[in-house]
Each structure stands twice: as C-alpha cells, then as structure tokens.
Chain A
C-alpha cells in the first residue's frame, strides 16, 4: 500500500494539471490512468510503435507532448495502464496494473475521469460500423485509421467538422455531414467562439477542407435509421426542428459502411457517485454533476472533481479547473500559503472564466434535446448491453418504476457491463417524462468496479489456504 498526499485519477488535461499543481507545492502525488501515457482522450498519445510524422502534428499533438513532458519532469508518481476497480473511504484506491494488484491511499483524491458521449438511439444504431464521434477521433488520431471506406458523420458540435476533415485528410470518403444544428445556431455561437481565435481558425480550416472535398452538409437533420445486417450499409437521414424532432420532411439515404455519431457529452462522475458525493442535475454541464465549489471541492471531505468529469467544458477549462483543484488540495493540506494559492488561483480562475465563454457556446450546440428521446420508437433498443427496448422501459414505468435504479431492477436496463454509461441518459429522460423531472428520476448508484475487470487479473494466483475465510455463521 503506497501512502501519498494526493491521488489523482485520470491523466487528461484536468488530472495532469491538478497533479502538477499539487506536486509543485510539495505534495506527494500519485497520478493514475488506464492509458499507458498521460494525455486523456483529447491529448491521447500515439501508442508505442505508431509514430506521427511531424508535419501532420497539430496543436492537440503539441499540447499532449507538453503535458507528457511536464508530468515526466515532475515529481508526480505516474501509474499508467492502471485500471482502478475499487475506491473506498478516505481514500483507498485499488488498481490492476501490469505489476498485479496495487493499492494507494491518500487523504485527498481528485477525480478527473472525463466525459462519455451522449447517444440518442435510433433503429440500427447497434449495427457494427456505427461508432461514436469521439471514437472516430481516437481511430483517426491515435490509430491512424479512418472509420470506414465511406463514412457519414452525424450529430452536433465542432467534432462533426473535426472528424470529417480528418477523414478527408486521411484519404477516406465522407458521404455527408448530418448536423442537428442549423446555420443560425452556428451564427449565434460565433461571437462567443471568437473568444478563442485559434480554435475558430481551426474550425474554419476544417470547413474549407470539407468544402474543397465537396462534402455535403445537411443542417437540421438527424439520422433516423441505419440498415445492414452484420455491418453498416446505408444511413437514412431526415430533417428535424430545433429540438431534434423530425419535421416529416423528405428523408435521404446515403450508402456508407461507417457512421460516426455523437450528441454531445455527459460528465463521467462515477467516482464522486461511488463516494456518495452530492450531485445536482445541471443541463449546462451535460447532466448530473457533482456539487462542487470554485476549486472542485465536493461535498465529501477531501474529494475534488475537475474537468469534463465534473462539468463538460472542453480541454482548456479542464486544465484550468484541474490546476485550481491542485492548488486547493495543496492549500487544504496546509502545504501552500494562502496568499500564494489565492494569487495563483486568481490567475487560473480569470483564465477559466474566459475559456468558459467558448465552452458555453459549444455546449449550447451540443445540448441534450429531450424531444429526440421522445421520438424513439417502441422497439428500438435503448440498453445495448441487455437489449432492452423502449417498450419494455415504458412497461416497467407503467408497472410502478418511479426511480432510475428501480427501473434497472425491473428491466435490467443499465445492469450490463457498460454499467449504464450508454443507456443512462436515455432511460432517465424517458423516466423523467413520467415522474416530472430528471431530479425525480435520479441517477444510477455508483458501485465498484469502475469498469468490468477480468477476475483472472484481479485475483492473481493463490492457494486455498491463503484465503482468509471468516468464521461460520451460527448454526
């Protein structure tokens, strides 16, 4: 069991910044991540063996390299390839690593586990070849692959253009971009987006590239079906209103062997939930978010939450919120004079406020559209793990399920290995229609392991005699 001053889980921009700030203040920090290298989803390092030519490296690659260099040069204890499976009180973290099972303990813990994609089901969304927008960026950036020979890119937000442009640049074909938002929505976002000229320029570059490649863009459209048995063959799209509800307008079909689709991001706050921190439903943060102060302090003493895992806002706000939590952890540990912390925090806070202007505009484009969920057909699968359809969810609600965990008991929706990450938003939105609000519908109770873990990895080799079997119950 390694004793540290601070444990940080998640080494994206938020977690790395928290670890670095606390480490600079003199705390012994352990930084854990599932990936072999720091960087998170946004700055994911190319895996060992695959190298990216210098001329194709963009701003994200450079930021990722800088992050990795900073972690390597710091006193932070880096634990890559660590699958955290248990977090118990105040705070003990158990992880499966290449070295077997390892335990860490510290009086403080930063949860920086990022977001996952919001997905609104439609007929055929379980067909192989249909992947997330974020998945497409991982394939493109860290695997050097396009998702298919011919890809439809659909959903909302700036990832649409980013993914499509990278596919085109990589020699792939983009059949169409299907954007839930309309040109007017983008125009409305422009002033706020101008607060980050670099990102705006990047976006315009994507648009030009896509224009040059003659990729059709269908605004205010959504995917209504994917056909194909063993793999995606065609994608049907139709026009929608501002809330994502089909208008009944003409649908179109694109032949494609891949569909990359995403409807925004949801905070992955599994750790605060597991530790029973108080949560609040914050649509502007992407969903249920841990209640936190300006430094990321949760309702559980010693627990901090930062980055997209706390509230979806993107890479730069994540980095700044991480730095704030790292400073706060050092100060709470009595290792940073309050005036130093106040000055540094003030700077980070001002930068964060500025960065959140851009993030707010993007979040409005990527906001949840409950009307889309209402339109889901009765026989469409909601829970991919357990093949639970909307009709079964509605039947369970009629049978008396009033809360999301009860709905899970009634239907097995969310009980499969993804632990409800894929279906949770949809199921809760459907339930909320009947019980009045997302607050009334609640959220999945957090339980270990954070993700399924092979028993073979967890249990290792052992002798029967070494199992500490407790004494028997009374006869």
Chain B
C-alpha cells in the first residue's frame, strides 16, 4: 500500500510484481498499469516527441494517449493494460 491507495472500503487483489526499466515494482491485481505506476511514484511515464517534455497519464480512459509505454516492447496505453506478474515495462513512449 502507498499513500495514494485508499485504505478503507476497497479490498485489493493479490500483489503482483513487474519490471519498470529494471526496477521491480509491486502492484495489485485489478489495477491498471497506469494507476499502479502512479501509486508507485512514477508520475512521469514518457517524454513528448518534439519538446521532450515529461508526460504522465492524463485521461485514464484510453483517449489521450499520454500514458503510452512499452509493454514487452510494444507501445501500449498503460491505462488499458491490467498489471500482471512479470510484465516488462519501459518508460518510453513513441519516440
């Protein structure tokens, strides 16, 4: 549990561990990758392609594309990917 996870009223799924740029990160089954990353302190998920400015998840509903990261080498929206044991995540977006 971290400060962002609400303690009361929610029962979380089993802990899962995934890899973020070589760092082991713990999330809970039922969480999206974007939420688990935010809770683990990864607000910045990528840089914008032209200005190279830091970006993080914005809409959490699959529209804005700001939370795109590499999952197993493939670019995916982290807000649409459920966390799983053994995911290999690269905090690198489109470029």
Chain A interface residues (CB < 8 Å from chain B): 34, 41, 46-53, 55-56, 116-117, 126-132, 134-135, 138-140, 143-149, 170-172, 229-232, 257, 268, 381, 384-387, 416-418, 421-422, 451-452, 454, 456
Given A116-B59, A145-B5, A231-B44, A53 and B50 contact (CB-CB distance below 8 Å): no
Q: Which residues of A contact B58 (CB under 8 A)?
A: 130-132, 135, 384, 422
Residue interface mask B57-70, A partner, CB < 8 A = 1? 11111111110100
Q: Residue among A53, A149, A232, A418 with the most chain B CB within 10 A?
A: A418
On whether the beta carbons of B10 and A53 are closer than 8 Å, the reply is yes
Chain A, Cβ-Cβ closest to B9? A56
A273: min CB distance to chain B, Å: 15
Chain B interface residues (CB < 8 Å from chain A): 3-14, 28-32, 35, 38-39, 43-45, 48-51, 53-66, 68, 74-76, 80, 82, 94
On whether the beta carbons of B44 and A34 are closer than 8 Å, the reply is no
Given A52-B9, A229-B54, A387-B49, A149 and B3 contact (CB-CB distance below 8 Å): yes
A-B pair count, CB < 8 Å, reads: 160
Known A-B contacts: A56-B8, A128-B44, A417-B65. Give 18 more (CB < 8 A): A47-B32, A47-B82, A50-B13, A50-B28, A50-B30, A51-B10, A52-B9, A116-B61, A132-B60, A134-B60, A138-B61, A145-B39, A171-B7, A230-B43, A268-B63, A387-B53, A422-B64, A454-B75
On whether the beta carbons of B66 and A117 are closer than 8 Å, the reply is no
Contact of A128 among B32, B35, B56 (CB under 8 A): B56
On whether the beta carbons of B12 and A456 are closer than 8 Å, the reply is no
On whether the beta carbons of A144 and B43 are closer than 8 Å, the reply is no
On whether the beta carbons of A146 and B6 are closer than 8 Å, the reply is yes
On whether the beta carbons of A171 and B6 are closer than 8 Å, the reply is yes
Chain B, Cβ-Cβ closest to A421? B63
Sampled A-B contacts (24; CB under 8 Å): A41-B61, A47-B30, A48-B13, A48-B82, A49-B29, A49-B31, A50-B28, A51-B11, A52-B10, A56-B8, A56-B10, A126-B48, A127-B54, A128-B45, A128-B56, A131-B60, A132-B64, A143-B32, A143-B35, A230-B54, A231-B43, A381-B51, A381-B53, A387-B53
On whether the beta carbons of B31 and A418 are closer than 8 Å, the reply is no
Q: Residue among B4, B29, B35, B38 with the most chain A CB within 10 A?
A: B4
Chain B, Cβ-Cβ closest to A44? B61
Given A135-B57, A171-B8, A385-B65, A46 and B48 contact (CB-CB distance below 8 Å): no
A126 and B5 alpha carbons, distance in the complex (Å): 24
A301 and B45 alpha carbons, distance in the complex (Å): 43
On whether the beta carbons of A146 and B4 are closer than 8 Å, the reply is yes
On whether the beta carbons of B30 and A135 are closer than 8 Å, the reply is no
On whether the beta carbons of B68 and A144 are closer than 8 Å, the reply is no
A267: min CB distance to chain B, Å: 13
A46 and B29 alpha carbons, distance in the complex (Å): 11
B70: min CB distance to chain A, Å: 11
Q: Residue among A129, A144, A416 with the most chain B CB within 10 A?
A: A144
Contact of A417 among B11, B31, B60, B94 (CB under 8 A): B94
A229 and B51 alpha carbons, distance in the complex (Å): 13
Q: Which residues of B contact A146 (CB under 8 A)?
A: 4, 6
On whether the beta carbons of B13 and A134 are closer than 8 Å, the reply is no
Chain B, Cβ-Cβ closest to A57? B9
Chain B, Cβ-Cβ closest to A54? B9
Q: Which residues of A contact B5 (CB under 8 A)?
A: 144-145
On whether the beta carbons of A384 and B62 are closer than 8 Å, the reply is no
Please list the 7 inter-chain residue pairs (A to B) with the smallest Cβ-Cβ separation, ordered nearest first: A49-B13, A49-B30, A128-B56, A50-B30, A144-B10, A49-B29, A56-B9
Q: Which residues of A contact B6 (CB under 8 A)?
A: 140, 144-146, 170-172
Q: Which residues of A contact B30 (CB under 8 A)?
A: 46-50
Contact of A231 among B7, B14, B35, B56 (CB under 8 A): B56
Given A139-B35, A170-B6, A171-B7, A384 and B64 contact (CB-CB distance below 8 Å): yes
Q: Which residues of A contact B51 (CB under 8 A)?
A: 381, 387
A268 and B13 alpha carbons, distance in the complex (Å): 33
Q: Which residues of B contact A231 (CB under 8 A)?
A: 43-44, 54, 56
B94: min CB distance to chain A, Å: 7
Given A49-B30, A56-B9, A417 and B68 contact (CB-CB distance below 8 Å): yes
On whether the beta carbons of B35 and A145 are closer than 8 Å, the reply is yes
Q: Which residues of B contact A149 (CB under 8 A)?
A: 3-4
On whether the beta carbons of B44 and A53 are closer than 8 Å, the reply is no
Q: Which residues of B contact A51 (CB under 8 A)?
A: 10-11
Q: Which residues of A contact B64 (CB under 8 A)?
A: 132, 384, 418, 421-422
